[in-house]
């Protein structure tokens, strides 16, 4: 597979000095990126997606389903409630399926449109954009923030910095409490946290998420995407020449240069200018601090802020939009782009098969699990009536939201009988029933016979499970 040439370019925001060295020193002092706020079509899409995701995250734990939280991962109770469904640890295979589906979804979207997941939906980006949005509201625009940072400590600066960090910490606290609210009912949690009645682990995880949200979104920001995120490191191998990427159209933009606004598009062309007016707006809006005009760089999270910035400049200049746009390497070189290509179709087919298999597994799921363990201390016993008896422990787990009574039956030999034929188990609980199985010695023609236990819910004929076991006895001569 041919790999797109990519470059490693030093983040230039904060200095924006043309001609500055472009080699990146791993140990270079970090330069703060003052991200300029920009409006535009893609930022509207990104903000809508971000608000929807955040609302979903913060509101879900507050929703109830009957008398319990709608989404509740009850670790001590070993029950995972997702709206009407309750899953148990023995159904973790479903969770594995879900994770595999997410991974293939990510591969598919990356082959199709690069790092759009990073730019539009990754929690690191969502929280960072939220923190930058707050920073902008409290400290002012990019230029005001640069000025403020250069100022000595004044009452205004102390107030603004204090308000910003307080707001960040409050959001980080809400994030921590909400996260823990997925594992402990949130209404109880918010009552118990201030009165120090909550569990020690709740304080630990709230504190953990508070600290890491504040650090990651407030201080580290693009450093997480560039240096810590493993996905950033390997996603480039999924790119090909037909992957949609954010690109600067060098053929159209160069030679770049500042010019009088009065110069029309044609006049600028005649004067030897390309369409880039070298305003650096695309660099100032970039949350990872790169200059997209240097070519594809792994730091680019495909957020399209530079597209919106450049389109607004093109609009003002009366030039056609799209100098920076979502395009493919092939399209940039004037070659044909192929949307449907074998690798993309392969991921798509794999994704569809896995989603279908998951839906089938969930739909076909029987909310009952049981084990039949033979008593190991004695092989078998002979009763006074001359029958052979084996003793079994039957552990029944009712995985349904309703209590059930189950009929126990056994088959495999003509004369098998049971001393207990039913067991009642409350919703979501387990019960153990010891049963004795009897058989006539005449039916036994070998020392060990396969038999089958069956459990059938009295209230629902769809709920039925079977388990194999062994019946031991004296073989008939
Ligand atoms: S925003 Fe557009 S015109 Fe301005 S520097 Fe970037 S590419 Fe050039
Ligand atoms: S280069 Fe453009 S798309 Fe890439 S991260 Fe920067 S602003 Fe976003």
% of the chain beyond a pLDDT of 70? 94
Q: Which residues contact 170 (CB under 8 A, 6 or more apart)?
A: none
Closest to 130 measured CA to CA, from 225, 63, 216: 216
pLDDT at 1 > cutoff 70: no
User: Which DSSP category does 237 fall into?
Assistant: G
Q: Rounded to the nearest 10 degrees, how much is the dihedral formed by the CA atoms of 126, 131, 135, 138?
A: 110
Residue whose CA is at the smallest distance from ligand 2 atom 8: 303
pLDDT at 477 > cutoff 70: no
- Residue 13's pLDDT is what? 40
Tokens at 339, concatenated: 């949307």
Candidate from 82-86, 157-161, 215-219 with smallest mean pLDDT: 82-86
Tokens at 223, concatenated: 């450093």
Tokens at 97, concatenated: 């399926």
CB of residue 302 inside a 6 A radius of ligand 2: yes
CB of residue 276 inside a 6 A radius of ligand 1: yes
Instruction: Tell me the helices (H) and strands (E) count for the chain, helix number first.
Output: 16, 16
Using only C-alpha atoms, the chain has a radius of gyration, in whole angstroms, of 32
- Residue 5's pLDDT is what? 46
Mean pLDDT score, 5-13: 44
SS3 category, 44: helix
CB 261 within 8 A of CB 243: no
pLDDT at 197 > cutoff 70: yes
% of the chain beyond a pLDDT of 90? 71
Burial class from Cβ neighbours inside 10 Å (0-12, 13-18, 19+) for residue 212 reads middle
State the Cα–Cα distance between residues 450 and 463, nearest whole angstrom. 23
Mean pLDDT score, 55-67: 94
Q: What is the pLDDT of residues 22-51, one digit of tens each?
A: 445 556 677 899 999 999 999 999 999 999
Best mutation site among 300, 322, 323, 325 for ligand 2, i.e. most ligand atoms within 8 A of its Cβ?
300
Q: What is the pLDDT of residues 447-458, one digit of tens each?
A: 899 999 999 999
User: Which DSSP category does 214 fall into?
Assistant: I
Q: Which atom of ligand 1 is nearest to the CA of 324?
A: 7
pTM of the model: 0.81
Closest to 13 measured CA to CA, from 198, 146, 106, 172: 146
Q: What is the pLDDT of residues 90-145, one digit of tens each?
A: 777 888 888 999 999 999 999 999 999 999 999 999 999 999 999 999 999 999 99
Higher-confidence position of 474 and 467: 467
Q: How far is the CA of 249 from the centre of ligand 2 (A)?
A: 14
Tokens at 477, concatenated: 């001569």
Q: Which atom of ligand 1 is nearest to the CA of 280?
A: 5
Q: How far is the CA of 101 from the centre of ligand 1 (A)?
A: 39
Q: Which residues contact 80 (CB under 8 A, 6 or more apart)?
A: 72, 73, 74, 86, 87, 88
What is the average pLDDT score of the chain?
Answer: 90
CB of residue 278 inside a 6 A radius of ligand 1: yes
Tokens at 402, concatenated: 């309703």
Residue whose CA is at the smallest distance from ligand 2 atom 7: 286
Ligand minimally distant from the alpha carbon of residue 33: 2
CB of residue 193 inside a 6 A radius of ligand 1: no
Q: Which residues contact 11 (CB under 8 A, 6 or more apart)?
A: 31, 33, 222, 288, 289, 290, 299
Closest to 108 measured CA to CA, from 362, 331, 353: 353
- Residue 404's pLDDT is what? 95
CB 89 within 8 A of CB 96: no
CB 188 within 8 A of CB 159: no
Q: How far is the CA of 398 from the centre of ligand 2 (A)?
A: 52
CB 246 within 8 A of CB 306: yes
Q: What is the pLDDT of residues 203-240, one digit of tens each?
A: 999 999 999 999 999 999 999 998 899 888 777 788 89
Residue whose CA is at the smallest distance from ligand 1 atom 6: 282
CB of residue 35 inside a 6 A radius of ligand 2: no
CB of residue 313 inside a 6 A radius of ligand 1: yes
Residue whose CA is at the smallest distance from ligand 2 atom 6: 286
Closest to 391 measured CA to CA, from 429, 357, 436, 454: 436
Mean pLDDT score, 397-403: 87
The upper half-sphere exposure of residue 90, i.e. CA atoms within 13 Å in the direction of its Cβ, equals 13
Q: Which of 5-19, 221-235, 385-399 has the highest mean pLDDT?
A: 385-399
Q: Which residues contact 31 (CB under 8 A, 6 or more apart)?
A: 11, 13, 14, 15, 289
CB of residue 444 inside a 6 A radius of ligand 1: no
Q: Which residues contact 436 (CB under 8 A, 6 or more apart)?
A: 389, 390, 391, 392, 418, 419, 420
CB 145 within 8 A of CB 153: no
Mean pLDDT score, 133-161: 96
Query: pLDDT-based confidence at 254, cuts 50/70/90?
Result: very high
- Residue 3's pLDDT is what? 45
Q: What angle do CA 259, 262, 266 make, to 5 degrees?
A: 80
Element spanning 72, H or E: strand 71-74
CB of residue 122 inside a 6 A radius of ligand 2: no
- Residue 12's pLDDT is what? 40
């Amino acid at each position: 597979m041919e790999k797109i040439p990519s470059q490693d370019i030093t983040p230039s925001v904060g200095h924006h000095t043309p001609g500055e060295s472009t080699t990146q020193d791993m140990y270079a002092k970090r330069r703060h990126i003052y991200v300029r706020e920009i409006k535009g079509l893609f930022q509207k899409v990104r903000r809508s997606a971000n608000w929807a995701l955040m609302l979903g995250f913060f509101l879900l734990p507050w929703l109830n389903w009957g008398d319990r939280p709608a989404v509740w991962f009850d670790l001590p109770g070993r029950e995972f409630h997702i709206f009407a469904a309750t899953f148990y640890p023995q159904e973790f295979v479903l969770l594995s399926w879900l994770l595999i589906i997410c991974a293939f979804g990510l591969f598919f979207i990356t082959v199709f449109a690069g790092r759009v997941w990073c730019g539009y939906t990754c929690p690191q980006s969502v929280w960072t954009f939220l923190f930058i949005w707050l920073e902008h509201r409290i400290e002012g625009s990019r230029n005001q923030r640069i000025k403020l940072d250069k100022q000595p400590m004044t009452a205004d600066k102390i107030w603004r910095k204090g308000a910003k960090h307080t707001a960040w910490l409050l959001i980080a606290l809400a994030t921590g409490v909400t996260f823990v609210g997925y594992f402990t009912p949130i209404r109880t949690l918010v009552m118990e946290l201030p009165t120090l009645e909550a569990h020690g682990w709740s304080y630990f995880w709230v504190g953990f998420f508070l600290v890491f949200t504040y650090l990651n979104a407030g201080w580290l920001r693009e450093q997480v995407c560039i240096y810590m995120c493993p996905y950033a490191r390997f996603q480039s191998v999924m790119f090909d020449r037909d992957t949609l990427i954010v690109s600067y159209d060098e053929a159209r933009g160069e030679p770049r240069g500042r010019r009088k606004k009065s110069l029309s598009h044609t006049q600028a062309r005649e004067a030897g200018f390309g369409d880039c007016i070298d305003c650096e707006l695309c660099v100032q809006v970039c949350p990872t601090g790169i200059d997209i005009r240097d070519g594809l760089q792994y730091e680019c999270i495909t957020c399209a802020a530079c597209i919106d910035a450049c389109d607004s400049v093109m609009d003002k200049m009366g030039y056609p939009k799209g100098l920076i746009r979502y395009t493919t390497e092939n399209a940039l070189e004037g070659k044909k782009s192929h949307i449907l290509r074998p690798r993309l179709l392969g991921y798509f087919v794999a994704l569809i098969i896995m989603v279908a298999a998951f839906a089938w597994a969930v739909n076909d799921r029987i909310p009952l699990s049981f084990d039949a363990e033979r008593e190991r201390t004695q092989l078998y016993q002979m009763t006074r009536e001359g029958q052979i008896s084996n003793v079994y422990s039957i552990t029944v787990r009712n995985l349904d939201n309703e209590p059930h009574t189950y009929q126990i039956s056994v088959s495999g030999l003509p004369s098998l009988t049971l001393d207990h034929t039913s067991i009642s188990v409350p919703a979501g609980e387990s019960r153990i029933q010891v049963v004795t199985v009897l058989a006539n010695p005449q039916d036994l023609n070998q020392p060990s016979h396969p038999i089958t236990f069956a459990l059938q819910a009295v209230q629902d004929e769809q709920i039925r499970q079977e388990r194999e076991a062994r019946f031991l006895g004296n073989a008939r001569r």
